[in-house]
Structure formats: C-alpha cells, structure tokens
Structure 1
Amino acid sequence: MGNASSTLTQYDIEEVQEHCNNLFSQQEIVSLYQRFCQLDRNAKGFISADEFLSVPEFAMNPLSQRLLKMVDGLNFKEFVAFLSAFSAKASMPQKIELIFKVYDTDRNGKVTFNDILDVLRDLSGTFMSDKQREEVLSQVLQEAGYTRESSLLLDDFVKILDKPGLKMEVEVPVD
C-alpha cells in the first residue's frame, strides 16, 4: 500500500476501513484508491499540494490554501481518514473537528477571533470590509456566549455548530 502503483489487498482494504472507523464500504475504498492513484501522478505513495490543486473543485475553493496545509503529503490511509469527515456516516462532532482544524492553522488547539476573521476574509473576499466582518463575527460570538477575547476549543466549536441542518457530505462515486 506504500506504493501508489500497487494494488490493494483485502488486508489493506480492511486496515483502511478500520482506520476510518468503517465509514466507507470496501467498494468505496477501492474507488477512493483509484482516485488516489490518479492524483498521485508520480506514484510516490502520497499526494502533494500541487497534485491536490489539479482537482478544479479543490483549486477553486476559497479555503484551498488552508486545506492544503492539512492534506499536503497524505498517504492513502491518511487521505481516506481526511475524506471520512465528509462521509454521510460521519458524526457531526467528526465533521466539526475537521472545520476546527481549518480554523486552527497554528495547530495550538485554540481558535481566536483573528483566526476566524482570517477564514471569513478568505470566504468573503472583497464582498465585505474588515469592519463588516468584525461586526458580524462579534455578533455571532456574542450570541453564542463568547467575546472577541475568547479562545475557542474544539468543544466550543461542537457546542456552537452541532445544530440540526448543518450538512457537510461528499458522495463517493463507486465505479
């Protein structure tokens, strides 16, 4: 499984399934492996940032630079684990943990007002001024019981975002 040009054995498939908490079927893992091999153009056994950027949907995402820090150099098992947060079977806390990691770019386990503001800047571009972003964020934090000075932990993100109706899913096409 280390070399992307090799084929998956039944053992490899079961190992990957276990690593991603059985959120993907064996058939889905085989399909993901085929996609992984397509992205791993040099058959190095991992996907580089440049290879991820070859996916148009990824390259066009306003958060692609943040996501690249999370996905650069992933091997197949890590690739599937990353994608498992987008599975319909993943729990909301699993999905929120991925969102938290997007905001926690320095990986210190805390998200500050400025961290969230940076993401809002990436998402809104020139459609909002910094002042508007700060006002909106201050209001949202206040409504959730936090202030500009609060450092949010993963549990805080779960408390704020674990609401009915939040969707974060990608369907894995099975060939």
Structure 2
Amino acid sequence: MGNTSSMLTQYDIEEVQEHCNNTFSQQEIVSLYERFCQLDRNGSGFISQDEFLSVPEFAVNPLSQRLLRMVDGLNFKEFVAVLSAFSPRATLQQKVEFIFKVYDTDCNGKVTFIEMLSVLRDLTGQFISEEQREQVLARVLEEAGYTKESSLVLSDFVKILGNSSLKMEVEVPID
C-alpha cells in the first residue's frame, strides 16, 4: 500500500476501512486511492504540500496553510483517515476532533484565545478589523461560559459544538 503503483488488495481496503472507523465504503476507498495516486505525482507513496496545493479547492481554502500542517507527508491510510471527518458517516465527535486539531496549532491539546483569533483572522481576512474579531470572539466565548483567558480542551469543543449540526462533507465520486 505504500507504493502507489500497486493495486489495493481486499485486505488493504478492509484495513483502511477499519482504520477510518468505516466512514467510507469499499468503493469509496478505491475511488480515494485512485485520487491519491493522481495527487502523488512522483509515486513516492506520500503526498507533499505542493501536491496538496495542486487541488484548486484546497489551494484557495483560507485555512489551507493550517490544513497543510495536518496533511503534509501522508500515506494513503493516513490520507483516508484525515478525509474521514468529511464523510457523511462520520460522527459529530470525529468532526469536532478534526476542528479541534485545526485550532490547536501548537498541538498541545489546548486552544487559546490567540489560536482561535488566528483562525478567525484567516477566515475573515480584511473584512473586519482586529478589534471587531476580538470582540466577536470574546462574546462567543462568554456566551459559552468561557473567558479570553480560558484554554479550551477537546471536551470543551465537544460541549460547545455538541448540539450543532456540522455540515462538513465531501462527496466521493464512485466510478
């Protein structure tokens, strides 16, 4: 499975399915493998930052630089695991865990006001001022029972987003 020139065996497919908690069907995994092979232009079995940036939807995403930190150098199994958060079969917990990783830029298991502000800055660009961003974020945190000084852990994210209907889905075309 490390060499993209090889074909997936039934065992490989089942292993990947298990690794991603069955969020993708076997047909979807085969389609994802074909896409992975297209992205892996040098046939190394891993996808680099440049190869990810060749996907137009990824390149224009305001969070692409944050996402690159999470996806650079992935093999196929890891690639599917990352994408599993975007499966319609993914649980709310899986989606929240993915969002938490996007915010937790230093990977210390905590998200600070500064980290949240940084993501908000990436998402809003020049459309609102830094002062407005800080005020909005402080108000949102306050409404959720937190302050600017709070460091949020995964369970806080689950508490805050637990009642929402996160629409984070991609369609995997099946040939």
- Length-normalised TM-score, structure 2: 0.99
The question of 1:50 aligning with 2:12 is answered: no
Within 2, Cα distance between the matches of 1:101 and 1:135? 24
Q: In 1, are the aligned partners of 2:95 and 2:166 still within 8 Å (CA)?
A: no
Which residue does 2:6 correspond to in 1? 6
Which residue does 2:101 correspond to in 1? 101
The question of 1:35 aligning with 2:70 is answered: no
Within 2, Cα distance between the matches of 1:127 and 1:164? 25
Q: What are the Cα deviations for residues 128-157 of structure 1, in whole angstroms up to 9, with x where unaligned?
A: 110000000000000000000000000000
Question: For this pair of structures, how many residues does the alignment match?
Answer: 175
Which residue does 1:116 correspond to in 2? 116
* Displacement over 4 Å in runs of 4+: none
Letter in 2 for 1:121: R
* Structure 1 counterpart SS, 2:36: helix
Within 1, Cα distance between the matches of 2:31 and 2:23? 14
Letter in 1 for 2:76: F
Q: After superposition, where does 1:123-162 map in structure 2 within 5 Å?
A: 123-162=123-162
* Structure 2 counterpart SS, 1:135: helix
Q: Root-mean-square deviation (CA), in Å?
A: 0.6
Which residue does 1:89 correspond to in 2? 89
Which residue does 1:79 correspond to in 2? 79
- Percent of aligned pairs with the same residue? 78
Q: What are the Cα deviations for residues 27-68 of structure 1, in whole angstroms up to 9, with x where unaligned?
A: 100000000000000000000000000000000000000000
* Structure 1 counterpart SS, 2:86: coil
Q: Mind listing any 5+ residue stretches in structure 1 that lack a counterpart?
A: none
Please state how far the C-alpha of 1:23 moved relative to its aligned partner: 1.0
Which residue does 2:69 correspond to in 1? 69
Q: In 1, are the aligned partners of 2:109 and 2:153 still within 8 Å (CA)?
A: yes
Within 1, Cα distance between the matches of 2:68 and 2:34? 21
Within 2, Cα distance between the matches of 1:167 and 1:3? 33
Q: Mind listing any 5+ residue stretches in structure 2 that lack a counterpart?
A: none
Letter in 2 for 1:147: T
Which residue does 2:15 correspond to in 1? 15
